[in-house]
Amino acid sequence: MKLVTAILTGDIINSQMVAPENWLPHLKEVLSVYGTEPKSWEIYRGDSFQLEVPSKVALKAAIHLKAAIKQEKALDVRIAVGLGEKKYSSEKITEANGSAFVNSGQCFENLKKTTLAIKSDSEDLDATINIMLQLASLSMDNWLPATSRIVKAAIEHPNANQKQLAALLEKSQSSISEALIRAGFDEIQKMMQFYTTQLHQL
Protein backbone atom coordinates (compact mmCIF):
# COMPACT_ATOMS: atom_id res chain seq x y z
CA MET A 1 0.00 0.00 0.00
CA LYS A 2 1.34 3.44 -0.89
CA LEU A 3 1.08 5.86 2.01
CA VAL A 4 3.45 8.31 0.41
CA THR A 5 1.88 11.43 1.83
CA ALA A 6 -0.49 12.72 4.48
CA ILE A 7 -3.06 15.49 4.12
CA LEU A 8 -4.24 17.24 7.27
CA THR A 9 -7.59 18.99 6.94
CA GLY A 10 -8.60 21.06 9.93
CA ASP A 11 -10.52 23.95 11.37
CA ILE A 12 -10.40 26.05 14.52
CA ILE A 13 -13.10 25.33 17.10
CA ASN A 14 -14.67 28.51 18.58
CA SER A 15 -12.66 30.75 16.22
CA GLN A 16 -15.44 33.38 16.33
CA MET A 17 -14.92 33.79 20.08
CA VAL A 18 -11.31 34.95 19.77
CA ALA A 19 -9.86 37.67 17.53
CA PRO A 20 -7.90 36.15 14.60
CA GLU A 21 -4.77 38.09 15.53
CA ASN A 22 -4.64 36.03 18.76
CA TRP A 23 -4.53 32.61 17.05
CA LEU A 24 -3.70 33.08 13.35
CA PRO A 25 0.02 33.77 13.97
CA HIS A 26 0.24 30.53 16.04
CA LEU A 27 -1.39 28.58 13.22
CA LYS A 28 0.82 30.08 10.50
CA GLU A 29 3.96 29.59 12.57
CA VAL A 30 3.41 25.83 12.92
CA LEU A 31 2.18 25.33 9.35
CA SER A 32 5.37 27.05 8.15
CA VAL A 33 7.48 24.48 10.03
CA TYR A 34 6.20 21.81 7.63
CA GLY A 35 6.32 23.63 4.30
CA THR A 36 5.58 26.76 2.30
CA GLU A 37 2.31 28.47 1.43
CA PRO A 38 0.41 27.71 -0.83
CA LYS A 39 2.30 24.67 -2.16
CA SER A 40 2.31 22.74 1.14
CA TRP A 41 -0.38 24.52 3.13
CA GLU A 42 -3.26 26.97 2.82
CA ILE A 43 -5.70 28.67 5.14
CA TYR A 44 -9.17 29.11 3.65
CA ARG A 45 -12.69 30.11 4.72
CA GLY A 46 -11.09 32.12 7.52
CA ASP A 47 -10.50 29.32 10.01
CA SER A 48 -9.94 26.16 7.93
CA PHE A 49 -6.61 24.85 6.71
CA GLN A 50 -4.99 22.08 4.72
CA LEU A 51 -1.42 20.84 5.10
CA GLU A 52 0.64 18.21 3.30
CA VAL A 53 3.38 16.38 5.21
CA PRO A 54 5.23 13.05 4.83
CA SER A 55 3.02 10.33 6.34
CA LYS A 56 5.56 9.51 9.06
CA VAL A 57 5.28 12.99 10.63
CA ALA A 58 1.50 13.40 10.22
CA LEU A 59 0.60 12.64 13.83
CA LYS A 60 3.38 14.83 15.18
CA ALA A 61 2.23 17.73 12.97
CA ALA A 62 -1.39 17.33 14.12
CA ILE A 63 -0.44 17.33 17.81
CA HIS A 64 1.95 20.24 17.21
CA LEU A 65 -0.93 22.24 15.69
CA LYS A 66 -3.20 21.33 18.59
CA ALA A 67 -0.65 22.50 21.16
CA ALA A 68 -0.19 25.78 19.26
CA ILE A 69 -3.91 26.58 19.01
CA LYS A 70 -4.70 25.57 22.60
CA GLN A 71 -2.38 28.32 23.83
CA GLU A 72 -5.60 30.35 23.56
CA LYS A 73 -7.97 29.21 26.31
CA ALA A 74 -11.27 29.17 24.40
CA LEU A 75 -9.90 27.43 21.32
CA ASP A 76 -9.28 23.94 20.05
CA VAL A 77 -8.71 22.42 16.63
CA ARG A 78 -10.30 19.58 14.67
CA ILE A 79 -7.91 17.69 12.41
CA ALA A 80 -8.49 14.82 9.99
CA VAL A 81 -5.38 13.04 8.75
CA GLY A 82 -5.72 11.34 5.37
CA LEU A 83 -2.99 8.91 4.33
CA GLY A 84 -2.48 7.83 0.73
CA GLU A 85 -1.22 8.97 -2.62
CA LYS A 86 -0.95 12.37 -4.28
CA LYS A 87 -1.76 11.85 -7.94
CA TYR A 88 -2.14 15.45 -9.06
CA SER A 89 0.11 18.31 -7.92
CA SER A 90 -0.75 21.97 -8.18
CA GLU A 91 0.74 25.30 -7.13
CA LYS A 92 -1.97 25.30 -4.44
CA ILE A 93 -2.36 22.39 -2.04
CA THR A 94 -6.16 22.84 -2.06
CA GLU A 95 -6.20 22.13 -5.83
CA ALA A 96 -4.11 18.93 -5.64
CA ASN A 97 -5.69 15.47 -5.64
CA GLY A 98 -5.22 11.79 -4.82
CA SER A 99 -6.35 9.20 -2.30
CA ALA A 100 -4.72 11.07 0.62
CA PHE A 101 -6.94 14.09 -0.13
CA VAL A 102 -10.08 11.94 -0.48
CA ASN A 103 -9.34 10.11 2.77
CA SER A 104 -8.69 13.38 4.59
CA GLY A 105 -11.94 14.93 3.34
CA GLN A 106 -14.02 11.88 4.27
CA CYS A 107 -12.36 11.65 7.66
CA PHE A 108 -13.04 15.34 8.34
CA GLU A 109 -16.72 14.98 7.44
CA ASN A 110 -16.99 12.13 9.94
CA LEU A 111 -15.39 13.98 12.84
CA LYS A 112 -18.22 14.33 15.34
CA LYS A 113 -17.15 14.75 18.95
CA THR A 114 -13.66 13.53 18.10
CA THR A 115 -11.10 16.26 17.42
CA LEU A 116 -8.40 14.10 15.81
CA ALA A 117 -8.64 11.01 13.59
CA ILE A 118 -6.90 9.31 10.69
CA LYS A 119 -8.12 7.51 7.58
CA SER A 120 -6.07 5.38 5.24
CA ASP A 121 -6.81 2.41 3.00
CA SER A 122 -5.88 0.09 5.89
CA GLU A 123 -8.84 -0.55 8.19
CA ASP A 124 -6.56 -2.26 10.73
CA LEU A 125 -4.26 0.76 10.98
CA ASP A 126 -7.20 3.17 11.25
CA ALA A 127 -8.98 1.17 13.95
CA THR A 128 -5.86 0.84 16.12
CA ILE A 129 -4.61 4.41 15.81
CA ASN A 130 -8.07 5.99 16.15
CA ILE A 131 -8.73 4.18 19.44
CA MET A 132 -5.38 5.46 20.69
CA LEU A 133 -6.21 9.00 19.50
CA GLN A 134 -9.57 8.92 21.28
CA LEU A 135 -7.84 7.93 24.50
CA ALA A 136 -5.11 10.55 24.00
CA SER A 137 -7.80 13.19 23.35
CA LEU A 138 -9.15 12.69 26.87
CA SER A 139 -5.98 14.47 27.94
CA MET A 140 -5.19 16.63 24.89
CA ASP A 141 -8.65 18.20 24.63
CA ASN A 142 -8.25 19.46 28.20
CA TRP A 143 -4.78 21.00 27.91
CA LEU A 144 -4.67 24.47 29.46
CA PRO A 145 -2.78 27.29 27.69
CA ALA A 146 0.32 27.01 29.92
CA THR A 147 0.47 23.22 29.39
CA SER A 148 -0.04 23.64 25.63
CA ARG A 149 2.85 26.10 25.44
CA ILE A 150 5.18 23.62 27.18
CA VAL A 151 4.05 20.72 24.96
CA LYS A 152 4.61 22.88 21.87
CA ALA A 153 8.14 23.71 23.03
CA ALA A 154 8.86 20.02 23.77
CA ILE A 155 7.75 19.04 20.25
CA GLU A 156 9.83 21.82 18.68
CA HIS A 157 12.94 20.92 20.72
CA PRO A 158 12.89 17.10 20.77
CA ASN A 159 16.49 16.84 22.00
CA ALA A 160 16.09 19.33 24.85
CA ASN A 161 15.88 18.02 28.39
CA GLN A 162 13.55 19.50 31.01
CA LYS A 163 16.27 21.79 32.34
CA GLN A 164 16.81 23.24 28.86
CA LEU A 165 13.06 23.62 28.28
CA ALA A 166 12.79 25.40 31.62
CA ALA A 167 15.49 27.88 30.57
CA LEU A 168 13.85 28.38 27.18
CA LEU A 169 10.42 29.10 28.68
CA GLU A 170 11.74 30.89 31.79
CA LYS A 171 10.04 28.45 34.13
CA SER A 172 11.21 26.13 36.89
CA GLN A 173 12.22 22.60 35.94
CA SER A 174 9.58 21.21 38.31
CA SER A 175 6.81 23.16 36.55
CA ILE A 176 7.98 21.76 33.19
CA SER A 177 8.01 18.23 34.58
CA GLU A 178 4.55 18.58 36.15
CA ALA A 179 3.06 20.08 32.96
CA LEU A 180 4.41 17.29 30.74
CA ILE A 181 3.06 14.64 33.15
CA ARG A 182 -0.31 16.42 33.25
CA ALA A 183 -0.32 16.58 29.44
CA GLY A 184 0.38 12.85 29.14
CA PHE A 185 3.32 13.79 26.92
CA ASP A 186 5.34 10.63 27.52
CA GLU A 187 2.37 8.48 26.49
CA ILE A 188 1.69 10.70 23.47
CA GLN A 189 5.30 10.28 22.32
CA LYS A 190 4.94 6.50 22.62
CA MET A 191 1.76 6.69 20.53
CA MET A 192 3.59 8.68 17.83
CA GLN A 193 6.41 6.10 17.82
CA PHE A 194 3.89 3.25 17.57
CA TYR A 195 2.20 5.01 14.63
CA THR A 196 5.46 5.29 12.67
CA THR A 197 6.29 1.64 13.44
CA GLN A 198 2.89 0.57 12.08
CA LEU A 199 3.46 2.58 8.87
CA HIS A 200 6.68 0.68 8.20
CA GLN A 201 4.83 -2.62 8.51
CA LEU A 202 2.22 -1.80 5.85
**How many other C-beta atoms lie within 10 A of the C-beta of residue 110?**
11
pLDDT, tens digit only, all 202 positions of the chain: 555 899 999 999 999 999 999 999 999 999 999 999 999 999 999 899 999 999 999 999 999 999 999 999 999 999 999 999 988 888 999 898 999 999 999 999 999 889 999 999 999 999 999 999 999 999 999 999 999 999 999 999 999 999 999 999 999 999 999 999 999 999 999 999 999 999 988 7
Q: Is the pTM of this model over 0.75?
A: yes
Structural domain boundaries enclosing 141: 5-201
pLDDT at 2: 58
What do you get for the CA distance between the two ends of the chain, in Å? 7
Domains contained in the chain, number: 1
The CATH number of the domain where 71 resides is what?
3.30.70.270
What was the pLDDT predicted at 200?
84
E strands, the chain, in order? 5-13, 41-44, 48-53, 76-84, 116-119
Q: Which of helix, strand or coil describes residue 122?
A: coil
Cα dist from 70 to 117, 125, 129, 153, whole Å: 18, 27, 22, 13
